[in-house]
A and B are shown apart, each in its own frame.
Chain A
Amino acid sequence: MIAETGLASLWLAAGLAAYQLVLMILALRSRVEVARSIRAVAVAQGILTLIAFAALLIVFARTDLSVTLVAANSHSAKPFVYKVAGAWGNHEGSMLMWVTILAVAGAFLGTFSPRTSAMTLVAALGAQAALALGFYGFLLIASNPFARLNPAPIEGQGLNPLLQDPGLAFHPPTLYLGYVGLSIAFSLAVGALLTGEVDSRLGRAMRPWVLGAWVLLTLGITAGSYWAYYELGWGGYWFWDPVENASLMPWLAGTALLHSVNVLAARGALKAWTMMLAVIAFSMSMVGTFLVRSGILTSVHAFAIDPQRGAFLLALLGIYVGAALVLFAWRGANLKEGAPFELVSRETGLVINNLLLSVVLGVVFLGTLYPLLVEAVSGEKLSVGAPYFNAVAGPLALLLAVLVGIGPLIAWRRERRPVFKQLRIPLLLGVTALAVTVILAPRMGILPRLGLTAAAYLAAAAILPLTRRNPLRTPLATWGMVVAHFGIAVALAGMAANAAFTSERLVVAKPGETISVGPWLVQLQEVTPTAGKNWTGMEAQLIATRGHGPITLKPQTRYFTSPPAETNEAAIDTFWNGQLYTVTGKPDETGAWQLRLWWKPFVTLIWLGGALIGLGGAIALFGRIWRRRRREPEWRRGYA
């Protein structure tokens, strides 16, 4: 019954989305007054998808094996949390989650966006409905999550044990919220292009959505990176895997959009530019979804292999992106001129930021899709990995880091003062860092060395906008910017330190033997069998010392039975100045065990930096919303 309720809600929601689209067309063609009804429809649609998603959670929580999806992806012996999280750990469930977020975001747009003109809001809600309609079609035709299985099997087929991890519970939903949050920017851009009302009001309406989506994407990528780091046991934090790139591309486009939407909101400039970026940002979200969900990738993350679905998603992607670009070509040229600005101005700085981010996005996009294109055209198989991305995107990222320090110091519209005077201390710090690394570590690679230099410079430059200001009177948005830019310096320092200073040992050790790695002495005590709720395993006991008291680490190898699989559980200990990372391998005939040990100085700064970047965005978002509440009392009542 519950599964049928979910399916019925989905059909109803699809019907409402179609109705919402019709209302929008009526309003645009014959100026019928639909603002109130279209908003009510959007809210109803959001509620119906929530019911459908709740139904899916319930069948998974109960392990209702008469539902095909549950039988294929769950197991009665699985811990409860992972039963529930399993609801979105598969293709159909994650697509339902995607469309639920899309519809709920539409409902929120209908409830809280009094800033745009009524007509643009109606058009945006219509665009959002058109997006949702395609994905309802995809779910109902090609990926029904509520299909029944008759007869029901006695036991489910489990879930990949690699995915039985707290990371799974939060990582995909966070990313999806970010992906789909960008859909609102897309719909607002499409709506504004339809009505021709691209102005600073639209910029201010779009900004919180972009900020919110961007914060979630940032946190999602950061968490995903840490998940891969401790779960895969390879000691790396970013593999340039296509699935990782699938989340990086919307983030890059979203970062560019975040900066240009500020120009639109504050100055009414960069109109067509911002609309284009809004279209590109959500297009990248759809490209990401297509890459992950169509299963066309050679990748540790891509679990589904189903070409039919891929074709459906590709068609949706083509229709939406194509339609938006046609609309842009048709209406973009007719937009009123934006407010003018001089060559040396904050606007120019942000244009350069946008251009650099777009180039990075372009090369990541090319590198990610090139193997697929080549294989489709010539049948040749190839892969593009870290050597390409580091060589091409690394220098651009460093250049961007240098410019991040300068941009916020330049005034809007026109800057007459010499800005470089303010940068004396940061530049001095950068040069000092460069000199110190040259003297102390002459053999360091060029990218890590420049990374440390840029990080030292940016850490100081990022906080300059706060100097000579009363910190209590500084707007929260400025605080947010400073925290986020400082976070870039922190993350950069972590990446460079990890690349430059990591020590690694790969050895075979018998119990009692001691291995040195970096400043640590690690002794293998013993290897003992161990077991969990649905796995058995071998656990090594390691005692690590460095001058003071010993620390115990227990890396494991786990064997799962349903489905049969083996995972390495790394044991990681965190200190203020780095992490000790240990992994066990296999035994040999003499009873010696393979061990892989890393000492990674300051590696934690990578994720700390990512968290700071997200926190900065959250502070800015909070500041914007809070100010809006104080200044516009009608916002509290909603829009009548």
Chain B
Amino acid sequence: MKPKNQRLILVIAALVALVVAVLLGMWGLRDKASYFFTPADIAAGKAQQDRAVRLGGMVERGSIQRQRDGVTIRFVLTDGQAATPVVYRGITPDLFREGSGAVAEGRLQGGTFIADTILAKHDERYMPPELGNLAAEHKAGKTLQR
């Protein structure tokens, strides 16, 4: 291989690698990214059935019910406009409480959200950014109602 050709081949190889990475990434992202919805989005029918999505809201007061088996819970996530029932089998995370924010990862089946994972407000200061706005709006809504 002549040095000049060698350099050309290396440049082409690098470009091909870049293109492959982008194509591979786009292909993966097209059906593996999971979108974030609020209960109002779900009520409006924006979320596809049976696809990995995330649902965020406040856990409605008085809605957490433990099922017979002791490890499955049902609760309702709300954003003040609509509410979505959620089923989750597992140990709920620290700080998962009624009246505080949570994000559920899972899929929508019928009108119920089947959660695989639940992320709750992490500590007093940290909150998932998606929930930051929601919490503020929720508070504002409550103040108005009063």
Does A565 have its Cβ within 8 Å of any Cβ on chain B? yes
Cross-chain contact A596 with B1 (CB below 8 angstroms): no
Closest chain B residue to A273, Cβ basis: B10
Chain A proximity of B28: nearest CB distance (Å): 4
Task: Specify which of A338, A371, A382 lies most central, judged by the most chain B CB atoms within 10 Å of its CB.
Answer: A382
Q: B15-54: contact bitstring with A at CB < 8 Å (1 yes, 0 no)?
A: 0111011101111110011111000000000000000101
Given the interface pairs A305-B129, A363-B25, A583-B91, the reply to whether A594 lies near B71 with Cβ below 8 Å is: yes
Q: B66-94: contact bitstring with A at CB < 8 Å (1 yes, 0 no)?
A: 10011100000000000000000111101
Closest chain B residue to A299, Cβ basis: B128
Chain B residues lying within 8 Å of A508, measured Cβ to Cβ, are 69-71
Chain A proximity of B122: nearest CB distance (Å): 6
Does A5 have its Cβ within 8 Å of any Cβ on chain B? no
Cross-chain contact A387 with B7 (CB below 8 angstroms): no
Chain B residues lying within 8 Å of A323, measured Cβ to Cβ, are none
Does A141 have its Cβ within 8 Å of any Cβ on chain B? no
B123 interface neighbour in A160, A340, A358, Cβ under 8 Å: A160
Give the complex CA separation of A272 and B32 in angstroms: 36
Q: Which of B94-142 contact A (CB under 8 A)?
A: 94-95, 103, 105, 119, 122-126, 128-130, 132
A586 interface neighbour in B2, B4, B10, B92, Cβ under 8 Å: B92
Sort chain B's interface into a size bin: 35 or more
Chain B residues lying within 8 Å of A388, measured Cβ to Cβ, are 28-29, 32-33
Closest chain B residue to A297, Cβ basis: B129
Cross-chain contact B125 with A566 (CB below 8 angstroms): no
Chain B residues lying within 8 Å of A586, measured Cβ to Cβ, are 91-92
Given the interface pairs A296-B129, A343-B1, A351-B13, the reply to whether A565 lies near B95 with Cβ below 8 Å is: yes
Give the complex CA separation of A302 and B130 in angstroms: 13
Give the complex CA separation of A556 and B69 in angstroms: 22
Given the interface pairs A303-B126, A565-B95, the reply to whether A383 lies near B36 with Cβ below 8 Å is: yes
Does A506 have its Cβ within 8 Å of any Cβ on chain B? yes
Chain A proximity of B73: nearest CB distance (Å): 10
Cross-chain contact B54 with A384 (CB below 8 angstroms): no
Cross-chain contact B91 with A585 (CB below 8 angstroms): yes
Closest chain A residue to B16, Cβ basis: A355
Cross-chain contact B125 with A370 (CB below 8 angstroms): no
Does B62 have its Cβ within 8 Å of any Cβ on chain A? no
Chain A residues lying within 8 Å of B90, measured Cβ to Cβ, are 506, 596
Closest chain B residue to A387, Cβ basis: B32
B25 interface neighbour in A343, A358, A371, A392, Cβ under 8 Å: A392
Cross-chain contact A355 with B129 (CB below 8 angstroms): no
Q: Which of A541-573 contact B (CB under 8 A)?
A: 563-568
Cross-chain contact B95 with A367 (CB below 8 angstroms): no
Give the complex CA separation of A400 and B77 in angstroms: 44
Cross-chain contact B21 with A337 (CB below 8 angstroms): no
Cross-chain contact A380 with B71 (CB below 8 angstroms): no
Give the complex CA separation of A563 and B7 in angstroms: 59
Closest chain A residue to B132, Cβ basis: A305
Cross-chain contact A592 with B70 (CB below 8 angstroms): yes
A340 interface neighbour in B1, B33, B52, B54, Cβ under 8 Å: B1
Does A79 have its Cβ within 8 Å of any Cβ on chain B? no
Cross-chain contact A338 with B29 (CB below 8 angstroms): no
Does A341 have its Cβ within 8 Å of any Cβ on chain B? yes
Cross-chain contact A366 with B21 (CB below 8 angstroms): yes
Give the complex CA separation of A391 and B25 in angstroms: 10
Give the complex CA separation of A393 and B94 in angstroms: 32
A363 interface neighbour in B24, B66, B91, Cβ under 8 Å: B24
Sort chain A's interface into a size bin: 35 or more
Chain B proximity of A8: nearest CB distance (Å): 31
Give the complex CA separation of A392 and B25 in angstroms: 7
Cross-chain contact A381 with B35 (CB below 8 angstroms): yes
Q: A295-336: contact bitstring with B at CB < 8 Å (1 yes, 0 no)?
A: 011101011010000000000000000000000000000000
A588 interface neighbour in B26, B70, B126, Cβ under 8 Å: B70
Chain B proximity of A320: nearest CB distance (Å): 21
Give the complex CA separation of A363 and B19 in angstroms: 11
Cross-chain contact A384 with B29 (CB below 8 angstroms): yes
Given the interface pairs A366-B25, A392-B25, the reply to whether A565 lies near B34 with Cβ below 8 Å is: no
Chain B proximity of A537: nearest CB distance (Å): 12
Chain A proximity of B99: nearest CB distance (Å): 15
Task: Specify which of B71, B123, B128 lies most central, judged by the most chain A CB atoms within 10 Å of its CB.
Answer: B123
Q: Which of A78-137 contact B (CB under 8 A)?
A: none
Does A162 have its Cβ within 8 Å of any Cβ on chain B? yes
Given the interface pairs A391-B28, A596-B90, the reply to whether A337 lies near B34 with Cβ below 8 Å is: no
Chain B proximity of A63: nearest CB distance (Å): 19
Does A359 have its Cβ within 8 Å of any Cβ on chain B? yes
B130 interface neighbour in A273, A298, A338, Cβ under 8 Å: A298
Chain B residues lying within 8 Å of A340, measured Cβ to Cβ, are 1-3, 6
Give the complex CA separation of A363 and B20 in angstroms: 9
Does A342 have its Cβ within 8 Å of any Cβ on chain B? yes
Task: Specify which of B13, B66, B70 lies most central, judged by the most chain A CB atoms within 10 Å of its CB.
Answer: B70
Chain B proximity of A367: nearest CB distance (Å): 7
Does A399 have its Cβ within 8 Å of any Cβ on chain B? no
Chain A residues lying within 8 Å of B105, measured Cβ to Cβ, are 385
Chain B residues lying within 8 Å of A578, measured Cβ to Cβ, are none
Chain B residues lying within 8 Å of A506, measured Cβ to Cβ, are 71, 89-91
Q: Which of A584-598 contact B (CB under 8 A)?
A: 585-586, 588, 592, 594, 596
Does A362 have its Cβ within 8 Å of any Cβ on chain B? yes
Give the complex CA separation of A338 and B17 in angstroms: 21
Give the complex CA separation of A366 and B28 in angstroms: 10
Cross-chain contact A588 with B66 (CB below 8 angstroms): yes
Chain A proximity of B115: nearest CB distance (Å): 14
A300 interface neighbour in B29, B33, B122, Cβ under 8 Å: B122
Cross-chain contact B28 with A392 (CB below 8 angstroms): yes
Chain A residues lying within 8 Å of B7, measured Cβ to Cβ, are 272, 337-338
Does A142 have its Cβ within 8 Å of any Cβ on chain B? no
Q: A355-B16, A380-B35 are in contact. List 14 more A-B contacts (CB 8 A).
A: A338-B3, A338-B7, A359-B24, A362-B17, A366-B21, A381-B35, A382-B36, A383-B34, A385-B34, A387-B34, A506-B90, A506-B91, A565-B95, A568-B94
A-B contact pairs, 29 of them (CB 8 A): A160-B123, A297-B129, A298-B103, A298-B130, A300-B122, A305-B126, A305-B129, A305-B132, A338-B6, A338-B7, A341-B6, A343-B1, A355-B17, A359-B20, A362-B17, A362-B18, A362-B24, A381-B130, A382-B36, A383-B33, A383-B34, A388-B28, A391-B28, A506-B90, A563-B124, A563-B125, A566-B94, A585-B91, A585-B92
Binding site for B on A (CB under 8 A): 160, 162, 270, 272-273, 296-298, 300, 302-303, 305, 337-338, 340-343, 351, 355, 358-359, 361-363, 366-367, 370-371, 380-385, 387-388, 391-392, 506-508, 563-568, 583, 585-586, 588, 592, 594, 596
Q: Which 6 A-B pairs have the closest CB atoms?
A: A362-B21, A508-B70, A381-B36, A366-B25, A585-B91, A388-B32
